[in-house]
């Protein structure tokens, strides 16, 4: 039984990681046509360093993701605290409305955003992408921070107040330190949601200014080069590091 389940687990991992592993290995292969045996080389990374379009797109991706993370992190944390602390008319409805955007296909959300941004005059570009990404990331942040708040004892805030802390000091010294692991996990989520986003970015990009996923797609359409393997490998390593970070903070959050 133990052997069978180990084999099964192994197959799942192979299924999940084989394409990625091949891509990563081929990014170090000198041959453009996946020729074997592998001749190790960093030539595609060198080419990448000279590909200004991909580098610009990468910088745009990071810029948009960082701004999205800050805005969605602050707004989402504040919203989660408000949901936790206050009861008001329509609260349940509002909370219920947080989930559907996660389920609606991005293609539809993207189309809707494109039309809406045109109609309102917001238009396309990095600013529109930030708006779109914030809207996508916000529910994740509220849910993750809200989950952490479930373990929060409201008496902690009451105690701080009775000791003379004003509302800002209560949040600064008591609520936020408790929430920190949740907020950091939520921020990493928001960053990942933005950085990995293709569909909505594709819709909202203006020609010449795009993000990494959009640029990768565009260059593949023009003809594949192993440079894509190289940039993808870099992105994968970065994303993995981020995810390990999230899971670490989550465990940290659950222990206390």
Partner 1 sequence: MASVSVRSVSKLFGSFRALDDVSIEFDDGGFYGLLGPSGSGKTTLLRLIAGFEYPDAGAITIGGESVERRPAEKRDVGMMFQSYALFPNMNVFANVAFGLTVRGVPSGEIRTRVGEALELVKLAGLEKRRTHELSGGQRQRVALARAIVIRPRVLLLDEPLSALDKALRTGMQIELKRIQREIGITTIFVTHDQEEALTLSDRIGVLRDGRLIQEGAPRDIYERPRTAFAATFLGDANLFEGTVEGDAIRLDDGPPVRTDDPLPAGGTRVTIAVRPERMTVSAGSPAAGGARNEIGARVDEAIFAGNSLTYMLTHGARSVRVFAQNTGAEPVAAGAPVRVSWNPADTIVVDA
| Residue 174 contacts partner 1 per CB under 8 A | yes
Angstrom distances, CA of residue 39 to CA of 7, 29, 30: 32, 5, 5
Interface with partner 1 (CB under 8 A), residue from 164, 207, 208, 223:
164
For the chain, how far is it from start to end, CA to CA, in angstroms?
A: 36
Task: Write down the least CB distance from residue 160 to partner 1, Å.
Answer: 7
Interface with partner 1 (CB under 8 A), residue from 169, 206, 238, 251:
169
Task: Write down the least CB distance from residue 158 to partner 1, Å.
Answer: 5
| Residue 85 contacts partner 1 per CB under 8 A | no
Angstrom distances, CA of residue 31 to CA of 38, 41, 211, 234, 235: 8, 9, 27, 19, 21
Interface with partner 1 (CB under 8 A), residue from 18, 82, 108, 159:
159
Neighbours of 246 (CB within 10 A): 18
| Residue 75 contacts partner 1 per CB under 8 A | no
Contacts with partner 1 in 138-157 (CB under 8 A)?
153, 155-156
Interface with partner 1 (CB under 8 A), residue from 10, 123, 177, 254:
177
Query: 183 vs 193, which CB is nearer to partner 1?
Result: 183
What burial letters (b/e) apply to 97-134, b meaning 16+ CB within 10 Å? ebeeeeeeebeebbeebbeebeeeeeebebebbbbbbb
Q: Rule CB under 8 A: which residues touch partner 1?
A: 153, 155-156, 158-166, 169, 173-174, 177-178, 256
């Amino acid at each position: 039984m133990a052997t069978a389940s180990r084999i099964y687990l192994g197959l799942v991992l192979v299924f999940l990681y084989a394409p990625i592993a091949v891509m990563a290995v081929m990014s170090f292969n000198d041959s453009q046509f996946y020729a074997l045996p592998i001749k190790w080389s960093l030539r595609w990374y060198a080419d990448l360093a000279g590909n200004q379009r991909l580098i610009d797109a990468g910088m745009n991706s990071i810029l948009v993701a960082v701004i999205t993370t800050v805005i969605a992190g602050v707004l989402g944390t504040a919203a989660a605290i408000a949901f936790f602390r206050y009861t008001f008319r329509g609260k349940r409805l509002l909370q219920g409305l947080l989930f559907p955007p996660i389920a609606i296909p991005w293609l539809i959300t993207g189309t809707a955003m494109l039309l809406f941004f045109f109609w309102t005059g917001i238009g396309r570009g990095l600013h529109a992408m930030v708006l779109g990404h914030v809207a996508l990331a916000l529910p994740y942040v509220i849910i993750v921070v809200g989950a952490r708040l479930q373990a929060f004892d409201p008496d902690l805030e009451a105690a701080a107040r009775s000791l003379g802390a004003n509302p800002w000091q209560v949040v600064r010294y008591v609520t936020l330190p408790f929430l920190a692991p949740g907020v950091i996990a939520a921020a990493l989520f928001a960053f990942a949601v933005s950085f990995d986003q293709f569909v909505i970015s594709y819709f909202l990009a203006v020609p010449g200014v795009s993000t990494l996923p959009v640029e990768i797609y565009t260059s593949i359409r023009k003809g594949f080069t192993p440079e894509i393997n190289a940039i993808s490998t870099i992105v994968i390593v970065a994303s993995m590091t981020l995810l390990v970070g999230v899971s670490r903070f989550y465990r940290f959050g659950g222990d206390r």
